[in-house]
Structure 1
């Protein structure tokens, strides 16, 4: 009987120089984007204390032996070595197999790692496996990303809808699953602009919920939750939940029987001159 490979299969143990690694490419990682600086600092401290970090997982193109290694798992560890001005070789596992298989293993490693993917990162990775032309099965995508096969099926359905339009896939499941309406007065933000606005809005929200010097009982989580629900309304709450936790199984009826308390547009207990609406 032929032994079937699994996503947890190990690579060849070796050591490599940093200049042998393609430090710019994010093609092999399930967590692209900016590195988490605090995690890099923690790894630098760990390296200083123990001398070596866990091996990074690299992909070697079997059809192009001269090409540099691609990082599958361990971008933060590589950054920690670079920060430490590492001049010697670093420990690594090297996979030499079709990229199609290597990408699944990258997802599995991130799902099981100490710095596991967030729900949104898992959804984005699963979405990538759907829209990139690797012909993965639903089970393969589910195992590699940690999302349900039901959600994978919904992603495939969404991809077919997009294929009949001129919409350009962004790679963000949260954005690509929505019906995007871009107009002249509401253009789609560039990533840098979007990041800046998110950071500014987050600061406003943090300041609003800051307990220090605030006469309102923001230490009471139940009151905070109820006040937030009343201020934002059901639609925004659903969007926040969906973004933060992957949106259950992303079906049209994804909220199903989940109880969501509804609130009137106006506070029935407020006096006639009191304005209870908070505009975010």
Structure 2
């Protein structure tokens, strides 16, 4: 991510200034939109889910209709896609030859990266918990967004972001690791390297194993049931009841009245200072 960021920063600094508000485009051709997935595509869905989503989206342009506007950001020598990677792929799949609607993001590069995270988290192709945490970790390591802005952009809790900033600082300031190396780590890997004991590291490994196993099962459920949650929840609830009739009570005990917890680092006693 940091290398992609430096490349775009260099392009912006050496390139042309962004068009004035009066000259901002409302539509662009496909070939006028560049992708920087390392910066702006925070979601990493399974291939079958992504392909199915693109196929579904492509029905509109195949019928001659446009999709919701893509969000783009001025990159010095052209427009870079912030939000709408699956929609762009759907236009390409449909062989779309006309201009497509866009909206131009007016903020800074850091704000654009944060906007992409927030847009991904609220998209139709939902982000998993691990993807949201991965987004937050990339924002913590790759931007100067405030803690509050990182929370808003990644849809994880304030406590999780606070823990990530603590881990980042321990690895970079406390242990002298280069930020580039730290940013390249997955969140669970960074936690493990910052762990203060073998027991703590073992707990983190176990949490990562459980998360991966749970994500694998969730992906199979998506493939079997689709993502039409309102229509499929009854089927899923019945299937889980058949699988384990005591599961309802177990989940109630695990979640309490507040639903699933956000995860490691969600400490209600953590100071709430949003400054970087």
- TM-score bracket, normalised by the shorter chain, equals 0.5 to 0.7
1:57 paired residue number: 71
Greater Rg over alpha carbons, structure: 1
Describe the shift of the 1:246–1:56 C-alpha distance in structure 2 as closer, same or farther (beyond 3 A): farther
Show structure 1 runs of 5+ residues with no match: 1-11, 182-196, 207-218, 229-237, 255-280
2:164 paired residue number: 155
> Helix, strand or coil: the match of 2:27?
strand
- CA displacement at 1:246 relative to structure 2: 8.9
Counterpart of 2:188 (choices 170, 174, 179) is 174
CA distance in structure 1 between the aligned counterparts of 2:189 and 2:260, rounded to whole angstroms: 12
Q: How does 1:183-222 map to 2 (within 5 A)?
A: 221-222=240-241
Q: How does 1:1-280 map to 2 (within 5 A)?
A: 14-23=26-35, 25-31=37-43, 36-49=50-63, 51-61=65-75, 64=76, 66=77, 68-132=78-142, 134-163=143-172, 164-165=174-175, 166=177, 168-179=182-193, 221-222=240-241, 224=243, 248-251=262-265
- CA displacement at 1:29 relative to structure 2: 2.9
Higher relative contact order (CA 8 A, sep 6+): 2
- What does the per-residue CA deviation read over 1:169-192, in whole Å, with 9 as the maximum and x for residues that have no partner? 4353233323499xxxxxxxxxxx
CA distance in structure 2 between the aligned counterparts of 1:112 and 1:252, rounded to whole angstroms: 21
- What does the per-residue CA deviation read over 1:145-176, in whole Å, with 9 as the maximum and x for residues that have no partner? 11111111111111122224446443532333
- CA displacement at 1:123 relative to structure 2: 0.9
Task: Report the structure, 1 or 2, having the larger helix content.
Answer: 2
Contact 2:73 2:104 in 1 (8 A): yes
CA distance in structure 2 between the aligned counterparts of 1:169 and 1:102, rounded to whole angstroms: 18
Query: TM-score, normalized by length of structure 2?
Result: 0.58
- CA displacement at 1:79 relative to structure 2: 0.4
